Structure 1
Amino acid sequence: MKILLTGGNGMVGKNILDFNQQDHHILAPNRKELNLEDFLAVCTYIKTHQPDYVIHAAGLVGGIQDNIAHPVNFLVKNLDIGRNIIMAAKANRIKRFINLSSSCMYPRDAVNPLQEHLILKGELEPSNEGYALAKIVTTRLCEYITKEDDFFEYKTIIPCNLYGKYDKFSPEHSHMVPAVIRKLHDAKVNNLKSISIWGDGEARREFMYVQDLADFIFYAISNFETMPQNLNVGLGEDYTINEYYKSIAASINFRGEFEHDLSKPVGMKQKLIDNTKLKAFGWQPKTSLKEGIQLTYDYYKKTVIND
């Protein structure tokens, strides 16, 4: 198949390209080749190439600090590129579209595990509200298009938090797992006796190794007709922040102490997706937390540090 992949230079996109075991013809234009903020350019590109599928994995992403500091960018840029790629695909009668969204869409006070029907059923987490609003709009837009005209199959994948190969490790822009890998590695190198954890460390999070998501993408393509309109993709189990720190410390062999900074924001107390529909769809992740962290640390040592 010919597949248009947005975000081919991001963590998810690069892993999709690496995992293309069926040798689909994947178009993954960079920003110079295709500016997703330019609707006419997106329309022209799709009209020219006529892909069988569009996989929308592009987006401005970042950790809690970045989201708090730049809510305008996280809302506007993600909203613009999402609307443009979806509407351009519709205008060119592209039948199948896979929209990658985020579990950030779920209400902050929703009962865990988070079920797909809970979208827009409560107030969002303020620390990443802009990003979440953009993802909600693109998810609903896919629903509306599918309801208006049954020719179109525009469906949304809702991954849990991700980490792994091609991740960002900078303190300003990374999510928790890569940020902690770098933090503990630096602490070990500098012989620090203790490091600080934001909050009490009891907030619970679900992180899936990103190559498992890539595996799911190709599974979804092969079974697209039976895939639900909106589908959580994750482990179905979570761990505390303290447990992540301990697991990463074990991989890195950091033997220092942990201190808790209760003045720092921690976000939602828990964010665990419900994987009932995912199991019924016939897929499950393959990488354990221990294995995934070790693979990510190996990547960090070989690629990031050496650079």
Structure 2
Amino acid sequence: MRAALRVFVSGGAGMVGRNIAEHPAAAQWQLIAPGRAELDLESYEAVEAFLRETRPDVVIHAAGLVGGIQANIARPVDFLVRNVDMGRNVILAARAAGVGRLINLGSSCMYPRHGSNPLREEQVLDGELEPTNEGYAIAKIYAARLCQYLRREEPALDYKTLLPCNLYGRHDKFDPAHSHLIPAVIRKIHEAKAEGAETVEIWGDGTARREFMYAADLADAVARHVEQGGSAPELMNIGLGHDHTINEYYAAVAKVVGWQGRFVHDLDRPVGMKQKLVDISRQTAWGWAPRHTLEQGIALCYEYFLEKHAR
């Protein structure tokens, strides 16, 4: 019988980390997922000492300072510096501690703002980034390139980067000032229904297109990567292969919540890139696809919101 894999997850208390921990495969691992109080990822010395002590077989770098457009615009220094520090510390400490396998989670924000859709992995660093989340994107590019450079110098290292599309799901934040689109919309429309509001505001004209995947599906892709070892490409998108307009996401949430009001558009608000759809050719060749439809994912996310966050 194979010994249980020792799997370290940075950001174990975050949305992605918790979804990984809830995946059925994780029950067969010796999961090491320290919270912020147990391990300061912004201290290289602390991370290296922790990895030397726990000696994981696989490191999953899922930690990061994340947020929506408002948060990224308000705090660009934090989104750049803190994410660079965490990525550098986890990746370099893993190498120093002798960890041979690492899965780094990037982001579709790494792609150029004017890149042709669907966005292919070779387009990273092929143009100007989206200004509203540039700091976060630079930090994620840094971590992905660091993994590639380490593999170039030490080919035996199995250090790979997955680039998920936008995510939502269980353990998400539902604060409109800090969260991503779908959880923010769930809260807005839930509160509109509770208050009897007739309208809900949408930033921009709502025609920008986005690709949102249920976070449990990303956890499934990560678990497959852990179980199969080095079979994945060095850089690979993880996504649905199709997208929807912002207006369509609002309508889908309204249907699940049961709110029947109307939407109004604030055309003076920033909306980010007009489209951000990832190419899933490498993912398809790898033999993986997400399992949840948009309607299923929103329903499960709303169920979680009602259980944990609704007032």
Q: Shorter chain as normaliser: what TM range?
A: over 0.9
Q: Does 1:122 find its partner at 2:130?
A: no
User: Secondary structure of 1:155's match?
Assistant: strand
**Within-5 A mapping of 1:259-274:** 259-274=264-279
Q: Does 1:218 find its partner at 2:223?
A: yes
**Which residue type is aligned with residue 125 of structure 1?**
E
Alignment match of 1:253 (pick from 252, 255, 258): 258
TM-score computed with the length of structure 1 as normaliser: 0.98
Tell me how far apart the structure 2 counterparts of residues 181 and 10 of structure 1 sit (CA, whole Å).
Answer: 19
Q: Does 1:18 find its partner at 2:22?
A: yes
Aligned to 1:30: 35
**Which residue type is aligned with residue 9 of structure 1?**
A
Aligned to 1:7: 11
User: Secondary structure of 1:169's match?
Assistant: coil
User: Secondary structure of 2:35's match?
Assistant: coil
Structure 1 moving runs of 4+ over 2 Å: none
1:86-115 per-residue CA deviation (whole Å, 9 max, x = no partner) reads 011111221000000100000000000000
Q: Does 1:201 find its partner at 2:206?
A: yes
**Which residue type is aligned with residue 11 of structure 1?**
M
1:218-246 per-residue CA deviation (whole Å, 9 max, x = no partner) reads 11112232200001001010000000011
Tell me how far apart the structure 2 counterparts of residues 92 and 175 of structure 1 sit (CA, whole Å).
Answer: 34
Shift of 1:196: 1.0
Aligned to 1:52: 57
TM-score computed with the length of structure 2 as normaliser: 0.97
Tell me how far apart the structure 2 counterparts of residues 31 and 246 of structure 1 sit (CA, whole Å).
Answer: 37
Alignment match of 1:228 (pick from 228, 233, 258): 233
1:173-208 per-residue CA deviation (whole Å, 9 max, x = no partner) reads 100000000000000111111111100000000000
Alignment match of 1:302 (pick from 302, 307, 310): 307
**Within-5 A mapping of 1:60-139:** 60-139=65-144
Shift of 1:117: 0.4
Q: Does 1:142 find its partner at 2:142?
A: no
Shift of 1:58: 0.4
**Which residue type is aligned with residue 145 of structure 1?**
L
Aligned to 1:166: 171
Q: Alignment RMSD, CA only? A: 0.8
Range 145-154 or range 280-289, more displaced: 145-154
Shift of 1:151: 1.6
Same amino acid, percent of matched pairs: 52
* Alignment size in residue pairs: 306
Specify every segment of 5 or more residues in structure 2 that has no aligned partner in the other structure, as ranges.
none
Shift of 1:56: 0.4
User: Secondary structure of 1:107's match?
Assistant: coil
